[in-house]
């Protein structure tokens, strides 16, 4: 696979020029959201979790918290469906919980566009082809998100992720950004048919199709 000049040099410039002004523009809204999260969900305001980045290098992902920390009698966390609140669902449906990831972009850990960063424990479950999703930086949004978000199957998500790795370009990033804005405004694909977000990935085979 030939790596484009955009992927090597231009993509980082694209990220900085987009994420920097966006962070300034959304700063007042983020302060309001932080106060609401603290009031409705408590502390901590930010959800922090280690995720695999470029070449599977771990980094700490930042998001607004959307769930309570309620536990059962044995001290185990309740299910996601039991812990998420109406306010948390609103944050997810509007993607407002993702705004702190602009900090990850400016730090160089993420891109605006790229495969979504998943859980560290999934690394051992990928096929060699699925692991190729880590050949680019993870993104706030990506091709899979622009094609259906959480309504897609894992197979479909990995198909789009790997296809993006092989076809990354400036014009593709612009197209994905436009499609993402459309799907977020319509609040489509927020949940999976069997889960409030996505069920756990247990290891599946994926194929790559054209976009």
The answer to whether position 211 is within a domain reads: no
Region 138-143 average pLDDT: 96
The closest alpha carbon to 203, from 126, 148, 130, belongs to 126
pLDDT digits (tens, 9 = 90+) for 74-127: 777 777 888 888 999 999 888 999 999 999 999 999 999 999 999 999 999 999
pLDDT digits (tens, 9 = 90+) for 24-42: 999 999 999 999 999 999 9
CA distances from 2 to 5, 40, 142, 168, 197 (A): 10, 49, 21, 11, 35
Domain count for the chain: 1
The answer to whether position 35 is within a domain reads: yes
The answer to whether position 86 is within a domain reads: yes
The answer to whether position 111 is within a domain reads: yes
- The pLDDT of residue 82 is 82
Lowest-confidence pick of 25-39, 70-84, 161-175, 187-201: 187-201
The answer to whether position 194 is within a domain reads: no
Q: For the chain, what's the residue count?
A: 211
The answer to whether position 192 is within a domain reads: no
The answer to whether position 17 is within a domain reads: yes
Q: Tell me the residue range of the domain where 179 lies.
A: 5-185
- The pLDDT of residue 204 is 59
The answer to whether position 200 is within a domain reads: no
């Amino acid at each position: 696979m030939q790596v484009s000049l955009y992927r090597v040099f231009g993509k980082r410039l694209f990220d900085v020029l987009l994420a920097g002004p966006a962070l300034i523009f959304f700063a007042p809204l983020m302060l309001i959201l932080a106060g609401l999260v603290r009031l409705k969900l408590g502390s901590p305001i930010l959800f922090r979790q280690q995720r695999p980045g470029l070449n599977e290098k771990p980094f700490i992902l930042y998001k607004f918290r959307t769930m309570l920390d309620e536990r059962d009698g044995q001290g185990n966390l309740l299910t996601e469906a039991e812990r998420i609140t109406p306010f948390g669902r609103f944050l997810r449906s509007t993607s407002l919980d993702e705004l702190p990831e602009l900090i990850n972009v400016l730090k160089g850990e993420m891109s605006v566009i790229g495969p979504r960063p998943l859980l560290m424990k999934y690394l051992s479950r990928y096929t060699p082809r699925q692991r190729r999703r880590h050949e680019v930086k993870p993104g706030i949004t990506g091709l899979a998100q622009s094609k259906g978000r959480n309504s897609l199957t894992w197979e479909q998500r990995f198909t789009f992720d790997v296809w993006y790795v092989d076809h990354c370009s400036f014009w593709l990033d612009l197209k994905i950004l436009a499609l993402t804005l459309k799907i977020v405004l319509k609040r489509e694909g927020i949940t999976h048919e069997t889960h409030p977000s996505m069920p756990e990935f247990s290891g599946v085979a994926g194929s790559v199709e054209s976009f």
